Amino acid sequence: MPHVITQACCGDASCVYACPVNCIHPTPDEPDFGIAEMLYIDPSTCVDCGACVSACPVGAIVPGHRLPETAARFADVNAGHYGEPATDEARFPVRAEWRLPMAPITKPARLGGAAPGELRVAIVGSGPSAMYAADELLKHREVKVSVFERLSQPFGLARFGVAPDHESTRSVANLFDEIARHPNITIALNTEIGRDITLDELRRTHHAVLWAGGAPTDRPLAIPGVDLEGVQSATSVVGWYNGHPDFADAAPLLDGERAVIIGNGNVALDVARILTADPDRLAVTSIDLTALASLRDSAVREVVVAARRGPENAAFTLPELVGLADGPARVWTDPAELAALDIPELHDPEQAAKIALLHEISQRPRPAEPFIRLAFGLTPEQILGDDRATGIRFRRTVGGEPVELSAGLVLTAIGYRGLPVPGLPFDEADGTVTNRDGRIVVDEAPLPGMYVTGWAKRGPTGFIGTNKTDSQETVAALLDDAQAGLLPATAASGSAPRRFGRRLAAR
Ligand SMILES: Cc1cc2nc3c(=O)[nH]c(=O)nc-3n(C[C@H](O)[C@H](O)[C@H](O)COP(=O)(O)OP(=O)(O)OC[C@H]3O[C@@H](n4cnc5c(N)ncnc54)[C@H](O)[C@@H]3O)c2cc1C
Ligand code: SF4
Ligand code: SF4
């Protein structure tokens, strides 16, 4: 039985390099790599050697004969990528004209000439993009990396974003732990750049500063009623159930029978799953214990995940929908509502597969409570209520008739957004630090020694592994500049770094 890639795949492509027969695609040098929702094993060429299993940082690859029932569909999802038979011509026709790439893909640069540990690089943030950048930099013995993280625990959204029931995905922390054990890296926790240390201090004491601070806020929804009690962002609920210190007071009101989530990306599905999960199942995960206690008392019987557009534009990914449909969650979509939508014929096979699965879900009996209902074509108009939310009024996106749903909790999940960083140029349009290929630029001119990666660089798109190629691009630019002598030469020389280390320890 060939091996199969399953839901947890975060697209870092480690398996591609481990496979002796090149049967995992798309590879980083293929055009569809940047737009694929996961990677796929070609069952007709896999020789079942198992090399990819140990390469995968999140345990996403399973020998076909050991696929659990809940992941059985992934055998078809993998094979479906290659068509039948698996020829190059039949191979997965997802094309760049249908989707935007999630991250750039480049070959890393090489560094030579400097003495060991001579090139000092500061990285702000310790999320996936920071750790992948550190890993890339640490391949060069000339580089010493100092990571600065504002929280008391590292790894950003890999720890505080990924849902607690996605244990395989969360195990990527083991890879980051491994990177953090390298002798040429230090990580200073509880250290916020801009509060405890200024950006200028970092620039004075390092040859290069790499900003990997993420996209820390959610996009606001501008409709009447969003300020009512019982309305909050899905981001805050994620932070709350994952024990993020900024969201300790963000407990959602769980005393109503229905919750509505506006937006249908993977984060919306995460929150819907956690709000409807059996608390005993959550108890064995890393969920915050205060959150778990509240979930045990929850009165929520139905979580409606409401999207403005139709299933052809569903924001959630195919692996997440498969996991929802075949896992322990109870999910349903109203067949009448689905039939009323005018779903166009699709070229994109991943989107087409989502629609086929949604039709299958709609044919199931309405599940026992609490359950998740996926709803489409609903444009939110107003959150109803005097002091607190009691419901929400939508308008059908096509047709325009009003639809009212009672709800004691309304969550907005329409995406993340970066915040301006004092001292760095900011692109208002897409909420990113202004950059070209990872070099921070002001009026198109690079700011010497200043770089950016991850969500702060490209905006909140892609998966954990997407940050790997993104960080490789930024590090390649940094190393090219180092080779070309373009980094500020005096910044990290003399006793300045030692004095900086002493000041940091004192603070
Ligand atoms: C709710 C949620 C669930 C997700 N689930 C999955 C999933 O299941 N699978 C998957 O593949 N991807 C998932 N993702 C996507 C993935 O988490 C992101 O692609 C990835 O975390 C982005 O990495 P980053 O390093 O750019 O940002 P982040 O992970 O946000 O890291 C930024 C870090 O910088 C720190 N920081 C910010 N400002 C400062 C400062 N001034 N000083 C010091 N430190 C600072 C922050 O505290 C944080 O630790 C999820 C995303 C979200 C939001
Ligand atoms: S089991 Fe071996 S041949 Fe099959 S995909 Fe993994 S590495 Fe490639
Ligand atoms: S997470 Fe990485 S190594 Fe694992 S299957 Fe996906 S691309 Fe391959």
Q: Which residue has the higher pLDDT, 415 or 345?
A: 415
- pLDDT bracket for residue 91 (50, 70, 90): very low
**Burial class of residue 97, CB neighbours in 10 A (0-12, 13-18, 19+):** exposed
Cβ atoms 251, 369 nearer than 8 A: no
Residue closest by Cα to atom 8 of ligand 2: 19
Q: Is the CB of 292 under 6 A from ligand 2?
A: no
pLDDT in tens, 307-354: 999 999 999 999 999 999 999 999 999 999 999 998 988 888 888 999
Distance in angstroms (rounded) separating the CA atoms of residues 349 and 79: 12
**Percent of the chain clearing pLDDT 90 (strictly above):** 81
Give the whole-angstrom CA distance, residue 56 versus residue 18. 9
pLDDT of the residue at 349: 84
Residue 86 predicted with pLDDT over 80 = no
Burial status of residue 280 (CB atoms within 10 A of its CB: 0-12, 13-18, 19 or more): exposed
Name residue, tokens 């994109």. Answer: 348
CA 311 to chain centre: 21
Residue 492 corresponds to which tokens in the numbers above?
Answer: 């990290």
279, burial (CB in 10 Å: exposed 0-12, middle 13-18, buried 19+):
middle
pLDDT of residue 503: 75
CB 400 within 8 A of CB 393: no
C-beta 158 within 6 A of ligand 1: yes
Sheet holding 143-148, edge to edge: 185-188, 143-148, 119-124, 208-211, 445-452, 439-442, 435-436
Separation CA 272–CA 459 (nearest Å): 24
Residue 90, CA distances (Å) to 85, 319, 446 in order: 7, 21, 43
User: What is the number of the ligand 2 atom nearest to the C-alpha of 15?
Assistant: 7
Looking at all shown ligands, the one closest to residue 149's CA atom is 1
Å from CA of 161 to ligand 1 middle:
7
Q: Is the pLDDT of residue 403 over 60?
A: yes
Ligand 2 centroid–CA 465 distance in Å is 19
Q: Would the pLDDT of 109 be above 60?
A: no
Query: Is the pLDDT score of 87 beyond 60?
Result: no
Of all residues in the chain, the percent with pLDDT exceeding 70 is: 92
Q: Ligand 1: which residue has its CA nearest to atom 13?
A: 463
For residue 197, what are the β-bridge partners? 193
Work out the average pLDDT over 233-253.
98
Ligand 2 binding pocket includes 49 (Cβ within 6 Å): yes
Q: In 3-state terms, what secondary structure has residue 371?
A: strand
Q: Is the CB of 5 under 6 A from ligand 3?
A: yes
Digit-coded pLDDT (tens) for 487-499: 997 555 566 667 7
Rounded CA separation 271/187 (Å): 31
For residue 488, count CB atoms less than 10 angstroms from its CB and return exposed for 0-12, middle for 13-18, buried for 19 or more.
middle
Q: Which two tokens stand for residue 486?
A: 């373009």
What pLDDT, in 10s, does the model give residues 12-66?
Answer: 999 999 998 999 999 998 988 988 999 999 999 898 888 999 899 999 999 988 8
pLDDT at residue 351 in the model = 87
Mean pLDDT of 476-503: 80
Q: For 179-190, how does the pLDDT look when each residue is reduced to its tens digit (9 = 90+)?
A: 999 999 999 999
Ligand 2 touching residue 23 (CB < 6 A): yes
Residue 172 Cβ inside 6 Å of ligand 3? The answer reads: no
More confident residue, 91 or 368: 368
pLDDT digits (tens, 9 = 90+) for 159-168: 999 999 999 9
Q: CA nearest 272: which of 388, 375, 135?
A: 375
pLDDT for position 492:
52
Round the average pLDDT of the chain to a whole number and report it. Answer: 91
Quote the CA–CA distance of 417 and 232 in Å, as a whole number. Answer: 16
Q: Is the CB of 18 under 6 A from ligand 2?
A: yes
The answer to whether the CB of 170 falls within 8 A of the CB of 158 is yes
Burial class (CB in 10 A: 0-12, 13-18, 19+), 46: buried
Q: CB–CB of 272/305 below 8 Å?
A: yes
Query: How far is the centre of ligand 2, averaged over its atoms, from the C-alpha of 10 (Å)?
Result: 17
User: Cis omega (within 30 of 0) on the bond before 26?
Assistant: yes
The pLDDT, as a whole number, for residue 105 is: 54
- Whole-model pTM: value is 0.89
CA distance linking residue 187 with residue 182, whole number of Å? 11
Tell me the C-alpha distance between 389 and 408, whole Å: 6
Interior angle at CA 15, CA 14 and CA 18, nearest 5: 100
What is the spatial distance between Cα 6 and Cα 411, in angstroms, rounded to a whole number?
29
Q: Is the CB of 1 under 6 A from ligand 2?
A: no
Considering only the C-alpha atoms of the chain, give the largest distance between any 2 of them, rounded to a whole number of Å.
Answer: 72
Classify residue 312 by its DSSP letter. Answer: G
Atom in ligand 3 nearest the alpha carbon of residue 55: 3
Q: Does 52 contact ligand 2 (Cβ within 6 A)?
A: yes
